[in-house]
């Protein structure tokens, strides 16, 4: 029994050491970043909004494609199983109604 308590205390000590090392490593990384950071040139700062806008447009295009694909699949599924679609919509309506009535 004493062996288990020794193992638990050793495990707890090791956890504390790991936490201390992580904190020290994090502080060291932050400090080295501060030392190596250089001010960004004006050209790259001006280009960042354009890059962000391009990424946003790309993400919107991907979402539009995914939504269109989902709508197509849903339409095919409803065409193949219309009764199940009606029952599913009915059950969903009941659940949503109960949620909003509370």
Q: Are residues 68 and 99 in the same domain?
A: yes
3-23 pLDDT, tens digit each: 878 888 888 888 888 888 888
Q: Are residues 25 and 66 in the same domain?
A: no
64-96 pLDDT, tens digit each: 999 999 999 999 999 999 999 999 999 999 999
Q: Are residues 65 and 98 in the same domain?
A: yes
Chain-centroid distance of CA 19 in Å reads 25
Asked if residues 77 and 85 have their Cβ atoms less than 8 Å apart, the reply is: yes
Asked if residues 83 and 76 have their Cβ atoms less than 8 Å apart, the reply is: no
Number of domains in the chain: 2
Residue 85 in domain: yes
pLDDT-based confidence at residue 41 (cuts at 50, 70, 90): low
Residue 43 in domain: no
Give residues with Cβ within 8 angstroms of 77, minimum separation 6. Answer: 85
Q: Are residues 28 and 58 in the same domain?
A: no
Distance CA 66, CA 16 (A): 46
Distance CA 92, CA 84 (A): 12
pLDDT, residue 39, reads: 58
């Amino acid at each position: 029994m004493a062996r288990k308590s020794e193992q638990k205390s050793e495990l707890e000590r090791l956890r504390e050491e790991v936490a201390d090392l992580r904190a020290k490593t994090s502080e060291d990384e932050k400090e080295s970043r501060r030392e190596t950071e250089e001010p960004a040139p004006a050209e790259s700062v001006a280009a960042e909004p354009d890059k962000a806008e391009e990424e946003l447009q790309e993400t919107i295009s991907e979402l539009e494609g995914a939504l269109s694909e989902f709508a197509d699949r849903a339409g095919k599924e409803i065409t193949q199983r219309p009764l199940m679609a009606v029952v599913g919509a009915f059950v969903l309506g009941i659940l949503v109604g109960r949620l909003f009535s509370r």
